[in-house]
Amino acid sequence: MHNLIKNSFFVLFLCLLLLGFWLSSDFKTISAGIAIFLFGMLSLQKGFRFFAGGMLEGILRSATNNLFKRLMFGIVTTTVMQSSSLLSILVISFISAGLLDLAAGMGVIYGANLGTTTGAWLVAGFGLKVNIAGYAMPLLVLGVLLQLLKQKSLQGTGHILLGLGFLFLGIQYMKDGFDAFKDNIDLSQYAMTGMRGLLTYVLVGIAVTVIIQASGATMVLIIAALASHQISYENALALAIGSNIGTTVTAVLGALSADIRGKRLAGAHVLFNVFTGVLAIVFLQQFVWAVDHLCLYAGIANDDYTLKLAMFHSVFNLVGIIIMMPVSEPMARFLEKVMQEKRATVEMPRFLNASALQFPDTAVESVLQETRHLYENATHIILRAIGLHRRDVYSEQDLNEIVNKYKIIKEYDIDEAYERNVKGLYSAIIEFISRARFTWEMRQSGRLHWLREANLKLVEAVKGVKHLQKNLLKYNRSYNQYLTREYHRIRYQVAMVIRELENIKSIEVVNELPLLSLDTLKGKVREQRQSANEIIENLIREHKISPEAGTSLLNDNAYVYDIQTNLLRMAETVFINYAVDSVKAEKELALTDHELLEVIKPSPVVEHEQN
C-alpha cells in the first residue's frame, strides 16, 4: 500500500515535469539547472568520501569534549562540503559507537545547520554577480582528467572539482532559466502579502525542498528567482523558512533505516528546524529589522535582496542555536524518554551501525564495544549454567563460599539463551566485520581480524559450558562426596577466571599491569588443570570414584580448560590496549608458554647434565 502511494506520487510528479517541459522551454532550463546542481552535490560528496573517512573522524574524535569545537566542526565541515548528510552519518556512527552522546551530537548538527546557510552567501554574493559558468568549464575539464588517474587522492580531488563545476553550472542554468522565464510569465503576480502569504510560501518552501531533497538546491532556486524579480523579498523569506523546515524530511527519511540513536538524532534535527522555523514566522518583522541593521553595518546595499536573504537565513539559524544550545541536555533526555528502543526477544547489537563502516577507527571501536557486550552476555550464560550469578561472582565475597551457597544447580536452557543473547549479536558482529574488511584494506583490518577471533573464542566458551552442563547436573547431586567436591572445584575454576577477568577489565583503565595479570591468570589455569588431572587419577586409582565417573571428570576438566583458555584469549584482544606504552613494556616481560610451564612445574635437575 505504502509503495503504491509512493509510486503513484512519483508517476504524477513525472507527468507534471513532462508537461512543464512541453509547455515551457525556460522551465526545462530551470529544471536542468536543479538536476545539474544536485548532481554536483552528489559528486562533491563522493569526492569528500575519498578523504573524509579517516580525516573527519580524527577531527571529530578530538572535538568531542568541547561544545564550541563541536559546533565549529559542524559549521566548517558543512561549509566546505556543502552538504550535511555525510556529517549526519558520521555523527550517528559516533553516537552508536558510544564516542558521543546525543546532546553532543546535537551540537554538531546545529553547527551543520548554520554551515548550510553559507551556500546562500556564496550564491548571492558570488554566483549571481559573475559569469559563474566561466569558472565551471575549467573545473569540469580538470575534474574529469583527475578522475581518470589511478591515485585515490587525485580521483577524490577530481570528483570535488567536478562537483564544484556542476554546482556552478547548475546555478548558471537556474539563473538563465529565471531570466528568460520573466519575459514570458511573470510569477511575481502571484506574490502574496500578510500572514496568508507568509504561511502559503512557507508551505511551498517545504514542498519544494521535500521534492528536491536538498535545502541547498532550494535556496539557490529561491535566490535565482529573487534575483530575477520573479518572487518578492517577503515571499523569499517565507520560502527560506519553509526550506529550513522541509530539509528535516530528508533527515527523517534517512533515519527510517537507522537504529534508535539515528532516529533520536533525526528527532533532534526536526525539533531544532521546526522550532527555528516557528520562531522566524512569529518574529519575522523583528528578524527583518535585525537583518536590515546588520546589512547596513556589513555594507550590503538596502536593495541587494539576495544578500539580505542570505543574512536572514544565517541569522534565524544562529538565533535558533543560541536558544537551543542550553536546552540540548534536557532535549536529549526527552528524546531518549520518548523514543525508546523496542525490547527485542532476541538481543540486538547496541554499538554496530552501518554508517560506521565508512570510518575505520569508529568501525573498530564499534566492534570492540559490541564484543564487550557479547562478553557480558556470554559470561552471564556460563555462570548461570554452572548455577552461579554475576552479582555474586563480581562481589568481594570468597568464591568458595559462593559456590557452596548455591549447591543445587538449576536446569538452565543454554540453547535458548544462546539463541537469544549470543547468536544474533555474534552474527551481527561477523557480518559487520566482513563488510568492513571488504570496504578497506588497512591497519584496522588486522585489528578486526583479531576481534573476529575473540568473538569466536567467546562463542566456543559458551558451547564448552553446554558440554559441561550435562555431567554437572548429573553428578552435582551425587552421594559420592569426592565426585561432588570435584564438580564443586570445576565450578570454582570457571567462576575464578570470570572474576579475575572482570578485575583485569577494570585495571586496564587504571593501567595496573593488565597484560602481566593475564599472564599470571594463564599460569593459574594451567596449574589448576595439571593438579585436577592428578587428583582425578588418584581418585580412580584409590577406587574413590568409578572409572566411568573418572573419565567423565577428565573430559569435563578438558572442557573447563577450553572455556578458560578461550576466555583468556578473548581477553588478550578485547581487554588489553596494546597502543599504551606501559602495555608495550609489559609485553617484554610476559612469559612464553615454555617459561610459564617452567614456573608451574620446574624441570627436575638431571644429574648427568651437571657432570
Partner 1 sequence: MNKIRLLSRLQDFFNADDKEKKKKAKDIADVIEKLQAKERKINQMLDDCKDEEMKKALQLEANIISAQIEKGLSVLESL
Q: What is the DSSP string of 338-397?
A: HSPPP--SSPPPSS--GGGGGSHHHHHHHHHHHHHHHHHHHHHHHHHHTT--HHHHTSSS
Q: Measure CA of the first residue to CA of the last residue in the chain; give whole Å.
A: 92
Stretch that binds partner 1, among 33-41, 271-279, 437-445, 583-591 (CB under 8 A): 583-591
**Footprint of partner 1 on 489-548 (CB under 8 A):** 512-513, 516, 519-520, 523-524, 527
Burial 592-602 (b: 16+ CB within 10 A, else e): eeeebbeebee
Q: Which is nearer to partner 1, 548 or 588 (CB)?
A: 588
Helix 443-475 to helix 424-439 angle (10° resolution) is 160
Identify the H or E element spanning 480. Answer: none
Residue 582 found at the interface with partner 1 (CB under 8 A): yes
Stretch that binds partner 1, among 80-88, 383-391, 452-460, 579-587 (CB under 8 A): 579-587
Q: Are 64 and 104 in contact (CB under 8 A)?
A: yes
> How many whole angstroms separate alpha carbon 3 and alpha carbon 434?
31
Rounded least distance, CB 530 to partner 1, Å: 11
Give the interface size with partner 1 as a residue count (CB under 8 A).
Answer: 22
Burial 135-164 (b: 16+ CB within 10 A, else e): bbeebbebbeebbeeeeeeebbbbbbbbbb
Stretch that binds partner 1, among 29-37, 141-149, 205-213, 586-594 (CB under 8 A): 586-594
Rounded least distance, CB 482 to partner 1, Å: 16
User: Could you say which of 67, 207, 288, 591 contacts partner 1 (CB under 8 A)?
Assistant: 591
Residue 286 found at the interface with partner 1 (CB under 8 A): no
Residue 26 found at the interface with partner 1 (CB under 8 A): no
Stretch that binds partner 1, among 151-159, 179-187, 216-224, 585-593 (CB under 8 A): 585-593
Rounded least distance, CB 485 to partner 1, Å: 12
> How many whole angstroms separate alpha carbon 56 and alpha carbon 523?
44
Q: Which is nearer to partner 1, 19 or 589 (CB)?
A: 589
Residue 598 found at the interface with partner 1 (CB under 8 A): yes
Residue 600 found at the interface with partner 1 (CB under 8 A): yes
Helix-then-strand count for the chain, H and E? 26, 0
CA distances, 535 to each of 403, 469, 530, 542, 557 (Å): 20, 21, 9, 10, 11
Rounded least distance, CB 522 to partner 1, Å: 9
Q: Are 96 and 365 in contact (CB under 8 A)?
A: no
> How many whole angstroms separate alpha carbon 262 and alpha carbon 63?
20
Rounded least distance, CB 513 to partner 1, Å: 6
Q: Are 323 and 336 in contact (CB under 8 A)?
A: no
Q: Are 454 and 371 in contact (CB under 8 A)?
A: yes
User: Could you say which of 599, 603, 606, 608 contacts partner 1 (CB under 8 A)?
Assistant: 599
Residue 401 found at the interface with partner 1 (CB under 8 A): no
**Footprint of partner 1 on 207-226 (CB under 8 A):** none
Residue 581 found at the interface with partner 1 (CB under 8 A): yes
Q: Are 33 and 228 in contact (CB under 8 A)?
A: no
> How many whole angstroms separate alpha carbon 447 and alpha carbon 518?
20
Stretch that binds partner 1, among 5-13, 36-44, 51-59, 584-592 (CB under 8 A): 584-592
Q: Which is nearer to partner 1, 414 or 515 (CB)?
A: 515
Residue 588 found at the interface with partner 1 (CB under 8 A): yes
Binding mask 469-488 for partner 1 (x = CB under 8 A): --------------------
Residues that bind partner 1 (CB under 8 A): 512-513, 516, 519-520, 523-524, 527, 581-582, 584-586, 588-591, 595-596, 598-600
